[in-house]
Amino acid sequence: MIRAVIVMNTQGKPRLLKFYEFQPPEKQQELTRSVFAVLSGRPDNVSNFVEADAIFGPVIFSSLLFVSFVAEITKKKKQEEFKEGTRLVYKHLATLYFVFVFDSCENELAMLDLIQVLVETLDRCFKNVCELDIVFNFNKIYNNQMKTTVFMYVELGSSYVQMHTILDEIIFGGQVLETSSERVLKAVEEISRLEKSSSSVSFVPKSVSGRFGR
Amino acid sequence: MEQLKTIGRELAMGSQGGGWTGQSKEFLDLVKSIGEARSKAEEDRIILREIESLRRRIAEPDVPRRRMKEYIIRLVYAEMLGHDASFGYIHAVKMTHDDSLSLKRTGYLAVTLFLSDDHDLIILIVNTIQKDLRSDNYLIVCAALTAACKLINEETIPAVLPQVVDLLAHPKEAVRKKAVMALHRFYQRSPASVSHLISNFRKRLCDNDPGVMGATLCPLFDLITADVNSYKDLVISFVSILKQVAERRLPKAYDYHQMAAPFIQIKLLKILALLGSGDKQASGHIYNVLGDIFRKCESSSNIGNAVLYECICCVSSIYPNAKLLDAAAESTSKFLKACLLFSESHNLKYLGIDALGRLIKINPDVAEEHQLAVIDCLEDPDDTLKRKTFELLYKMTKSTNVEVIVDRMIDYMISINDNHYKTEIASRCVELAEQFAPSNQWFIQFSVSNNFTFQTMNKVFEHAGDLVNVRVAHNLMRLIAEGFGEDDEGADSQLRSSAVNSYLRILGEPKLPSLFLQVICWVLGEYGTADGKYSASYIIGKLCDVTEAHLCNDTVKAYAISAIMKICAFEIAAGRKVEMLPECQSLIDELSASHSTDLQQRAYELQALLCLHSQAVESVIPLDASCEDIEVDRNLSFLDSFVQQSIEKGARPYIPEIERSGMFSVSNYTSQHQHETSSHTLRFEAYELPKPSPTPAAPQISVSTRTTDLVPVPETTYYTENNQASKLQPVLDASSADHGIKLHLVGVQKKWGRPTYSASSSTTSSSEKKTNGVTHLDGVSLQSQGTLYDSKGQQSEKQKLAASLFGASAGKTEKKPTSTQRAPKANTATAERPGVARAVSPEISKQKAASSPPPDLLDLGEPISTTTPTIDPFEQLEGLIGPTPGPSTLDNSVTTSEQKAPDLMALYTDTPPSSSSSISSGLGDLHSADKNSPMAKNVPSIKKGPNPQDSLQKDATARHVGVTPTGNNPNLFRDLLG
């Protein structure tokens, strides 16, 4: 199971955090900081894997739970297996770290490729993934600005949401859902198409009138 | 970056024209300033300002909805940066009620990021999720499913469960996929609440969309991890799916980097590894497809290597096959040799080391050719790789190389700062030192290994003292006190005096961990004056220094004062005068006024001791008696004469608590609780009442006498399984389970169902034996205990064997290198003796597993006993003795499990002959009744199933499912088994 997806810049500032088992905000910050501390200490040209038991501790919410009703001994064995073995895979791209944290039920190399899928999808969706793109799609907005200023700012907030949308299409509840960036892209486009059509019908007039009312 | 800033500025300027978009400009500015913030403090200031303004605005009445959406996103952003945005949660919840897709999705996104599954606001969302799951718009359904996954907790699962199950048949495959995943998540949260729906996962495996099928593998993987045996029938299905995937029968869309659906392949391989583990029959089906994948797999791409690696894991987990092992070893060496060919060579090396660690368990020779590669990895700057390599070394430690490996580990331990890993590696060092040192029974090796262990422990203590377990310290003390063998007192005393010497030296160091100080104090107290080298006053002076110099805690002080007491006692006993050093006197004074009552007591004890006569002192604290058992006279027999005198003088005799009337004695209750094994009084009678309930549980069984026989035994069966547990619990379990069946409570039944069945059926077998006479509860329990002891005896015998094997191999290692610098050579030397290695390593793994002796008994015992009642016992048992596959798959050293199996079988084979004549009629009834039961459809599957044990196990589980009529089962089995 995938436990968390963290995107942060090379200064350790989080750009996207998604934890698949609930963590309070303070804990999220702490985890992000410790992950950054580990990653920043690693030289280039080493492996992309890090054992992260020390940071994330035992798996709270994983296969451990089912084992509860199996025979005692199997349980012990399983606990040994699951208790340890939280790992993270990271990829360093430009000014960003993409980090996936997962337990021993996943394959490290496959996770590395999943990061690749995420990055590819983001790249295709936003044309260029650089740090600020994670929060805002500057380039795209810049182009749009020429056309409609109104939609531009709707877009602004959306792109952050859209990152989450993309991630939700790839990972669902901690499990890998989709691994083809093409199909992810299609799904995301479908969503934004339908969102636009529904919002243009029901929303723009209201909000515009709301603003004019001031 | 510079360019981006310009763009941002332009944007900001551009938006000044349209004043009415001001809100978003603020957001833009916010993000920009956060991005440019120079320090954490600056960032915090900005965000706090932002939160303040949001708090104000979000509370304004009548905020336009789209603006609210933006506020919410800004809150999400603020919370991501670590600031509290809880005031906005309720608005996010409100947003999920919105009709518009875009707002609803934003709302759901925000609540999934904001709320935990036990947050108070969840209750407000459940209703919305329920409604949205029924929506016509599949995107709304998807959003609701995502939210359900994150937010629905155990209590609210029933509220959305029916809708989610309905969605399993949704026309859109994206929805089906997510519904499967959501169901999986529910299962993770609360297995009981969805256990009756597990068949749905099997059904979805046959979905015609490969994506949905792939999604189903995730829950199935978890289910199989929890209970392998119920899913053995799926092996063939999984193999055929894997085959189809590998042969590229899936649509092109599922290809990834020229690999056919690699993620599905990986998941399938993981599942097959579980199913085939230790099961020869199941593994037989898997061999072919694994061979195919090995042959076809591209090792030039990242994902191709991922599949290859998974193949290696699978090969090392299933029943060994020489050909596949060769292929796996070959791929492993490819990984390890991937030096400059790939940019990500480190990743491959990491996997190679990991794979080597897996293969080495099966065939220790594999490491031979990779010695240099392994050493390279040890020297690598990559920390992850280094740790993985240490893990490998730990796995391949033998008595021949333990010194080198532990030396390396300690060096590494000293060099790192990570406390977590330091602890781990320290405990590993100690474990290895403990594990290997005592096995060297050879005389010559003796003192060497003693000293080695001792030094290892000292080093571990010095550098990771605060991190190691207290148990380790106690072990070290015991080691010094007992030595390693009784034969050689000389070596022991040598060890002790060397311990005293080195500890006196170490005490000079400025900072020592408290645990280590405790050990030092103990050793000095016990053996400080033993060899007469140091005077008592010198040692006492040192001990006083300890308490002063290391402003230490009470525990160390207690150890120190006890040590002083011992030394004084030894001196007095030897007839020498003890002169009190001034610092010692002041210490005693200080401690007798201490806040800690423990320290006070010790100080007063010491003072009292000093006034005693030498003979009295000797009997209070005898010399070197730390290992002697103290015999406690429970009956206080030495007081008998005193009691007698008092009674004669007219005192009333003592009445034991039990005999006092009208008093409920708690202590009596508890003590009985402990001794219940042999005596059954109060407790049992109370719980015997509900026991007749097995009768309704198996209504098809017509012979009623047989069922009454079943009644009393379950607890004994449990007892054999769970040696230590109190017997009270199982009785409860059994009865509650029976109730479960009667009431058709789905969750309860599933949870306890399997043990009940196996227990009651094994009951049949054991009680059958007694049918000639009366069913004696005690008899049965005694017998099963006998079984237990037998296996324990075996266990200890094996350990002895292991010990002697270690000794033999150790004999050959006299010329082994002791210095760290020669590490590579040492390793090669190890590998050059494959014979020794092969002989030893199964025993090593054995020893490692030795800490849990009951498992084998349980694992083998359970399926056998399940067998007996259903089918003719003779054939069945004969069949079982042959293959001995057993689900004891956990043990990777196959040889051991095979060795053990026949013995246990033998125990059971005694059973049928004596009982056969009397049972057969009853069994016949059982059998035919079974056929009439709704699950009779299972019979073909039994015949088909490769392994009688497994299919029976499956049958047992299937019967549970059958009791709760889900209605889908017949179809399901037809689907899966053709």
What's the length of chain A? 214
Give yes or no for a contact between B81 and B43, defined as CB atoms under 8 angstroms apart: yes
Per the confidence metrics, is the pTM higher than 0.90? Answer: no
Q: Which of B81, B95, B183, B308 is most worth mutating to test chain A (most A CB atoms within 10 A of its CB)?
A: B81
pLDDT digits (tens, 9 = 90+) for B877-890: 444 444 444 444 34
Alpha carbons within 13 A on the beta-carbon side of A77: 22
Sign of CA dihedral B319, B325, B331, B334: positive
Report the range of poorest mean pLDDT among A64-68, B176-180, B339-343: A64-68
Beta bridge partners, B415, equal none
Collapsing DSSP to helix, strand or coil, A91 comes out as strand
pLDDT of residue B342: 52
Q: Mean per-residue pLDDT for B151-161?
A: 88
**Is the CB of A151 inside 8 Å of chain B's CB atoms?**
no
Give yes or no for a contact between B226 and A63, defined as CB atoms under 8 angstroms apart: yes
As given in the structure block, the two tokens for residue B502 are 């080195």
pLDDT of residue B431: 73
Collapsing DSSP to helix, strand or coil, B500 comes out as helix
CA angle A74, A78, A84 (to 5 degrees): 160
What phi and psi, each to the nearest 5 degrees, are found at residue B886? 60, 145
Q: Does the structure show a pLDDT above 60 at B919? A: no
Nearest to B438 by CA among B387, B402, B391, B389: B402
Report the range of poorest mean pLDDT among B151-160, B324-333, B445-454: B445-454
Q: How far apart are CA B20 and CA A18, in angstroms?
A: 33
**Is the CB of A78 inside 8 Å of chain B's CB atoms?**
yes
**Is the CB of B24 inside 8 Å of chain A's CB atoms?**
yes
pLDDT of residue B915: 40
pLDDT of residue B179: 92
pLDDT of residue A41: 86
As given in the structure block, the two tokens for residue B37 are 């913030």
Query: Using a CB-CB distance cutoff of 8 angstroms, which residues of chain A are in contact with residue B139?
Result: 190-191, 194
Query: Using a CB-CB distance cutoff of 8 angstroms, which residues of chain B are in contact with residue A27?
Result: none
A53 Cβ contact partners less than 8 Å away, ≥ 6 residues apart: A84, A85, A86, B420
Which of A47, A116, A174 minimises the CB distance to B384?
Answer: A47
The four Cα atoms B109, B111, B113, B119 give a dihedral, to 10 degrees, of -160
Exposed/middle/buried for B744, CB within 10 Å: 0-12, 13-18, 19+? exposed
Distance from CA of B603 to the nearest CA of A (A): 42
- In Å, how far from its chain's centre is CA B712? 33
For residue B317, the one-letter residue type is S
Which of A24, A42, A149 minimises the CB distance to B21?
Answer: A149
pLDDT of residue B663: 53
* pLDDT greater at residue B437 or residue B803: B437
**Is the CB of A16 inside 8 Å of chain B's CB atoms?**
yes
Q: Does the structure show a pLDDT above 70 at B623? A: no
What residues of chain A, 89 to 148, have a C-beta less than 8 Å from chain B? 95, 105, 107-110, 112-113, 116-117, 130-132, 135-136, 138-139, 141-142, 145
Give the nearest chain B residue to A30 (CA atoms). Answer: B82
Q: Mean per-residue pLDDT for A5-33?
A: 86
Q: Does the structure show a pLDDT above 80 at B387? A: yes
pLDDT of residue B98: 86
pLDDT digits (tens, 9 = 90+) for B32-79: 677 667 777 888 888 888 889 888 888 888 888 878 888 888 888 888
Q: Mean per-residue pLDDT for B939-960?
A: 47
Q: Does the structure show a pLDDT above 80 at B656? A: no
pLDDT of residue B28: 67
Residue whose pair of structure tokens reads 């999808």 in the numeric block: A121
Report the range of poorest mean pLDDT among B257-261, B480-484, B616-620, B835-839: B835-839
First-to-last alpha carbon distance for chain B, in angstroms, is 62
What residues of chain B, 545 to 584, have a C-beta less than 8 Å from chain A? none
Distance from CA of B514 to the nearest CA of A (A): 24
For residue A44, the one-letter residue type is D
Collapsing DSSP to helix, strand or coil, A87 comes out as strand
As given in the structure block, the two tokens for residue B152 are 């629905």
Does the beta-carbon distance from B303 to A113 stay under 8 Å? yes
Collapsing DSSP to helix, strand or coil, A7 comes out as strand
CB atoms within 10 A of CB B39: 8
As given in the structure block, the two tokens for residue B869 are 């009642």
Distance from CA of A123 to the nearest CA of B (A): 17
Give yes or no for a contact between B428 and B477, defined as CB atoms under 8 angstroms apart: no
pLDDT digits (tens, 9 = 90+) for B526-566: 877 777 777 878 888 888 887 777 666 778 888 888 888 88
As given in the structure block, the two tokens for residue A54 are 């020390």
The H or E element containing residue B895 is helix B894-909
Does the beta-carbon distance from A161 to B109 stay under 8 Å? yes
In this prediction, residue A84 has a pLDDT band, given cuts at 50, 70 and 90, of low
Beta bridge partners, A97, equal A8, A92
The average confidence (pLDDT) of chain B is: 67
Nearest to B180 by CA among B137, B222, B151, B140: B222
Q: Which of B201, B222, B231 is most worth mutating to test chain A (most A CB atoms within 10 A of its CB)?
A: B222
Nearest to B717 by CA among B696, B701, B733, B698: B733
pLDDT of residue A90: 92
- In Å, how far from its chain's centre is CA B617? 49
CB atoms within 10 A of CB A37: 11
Helix ranges restricted to H, B437-488: 443-464, 470-482
Q: Which of A46, A120, A158, A167 is most worth mutating to test chain B (most B CB atoms within 10 A of its CB)?
A: A46
Residue whose pair of structure tokens reads 């005690």 in the numeric block: B778
Does the beta-carbon distance from B418 to A173 stay under 8 Å? no
pLDDT of residue A127: 61
In this prediction, residue B854 has a pLDDT band, given cuts at 50, 70 and 90, of very low
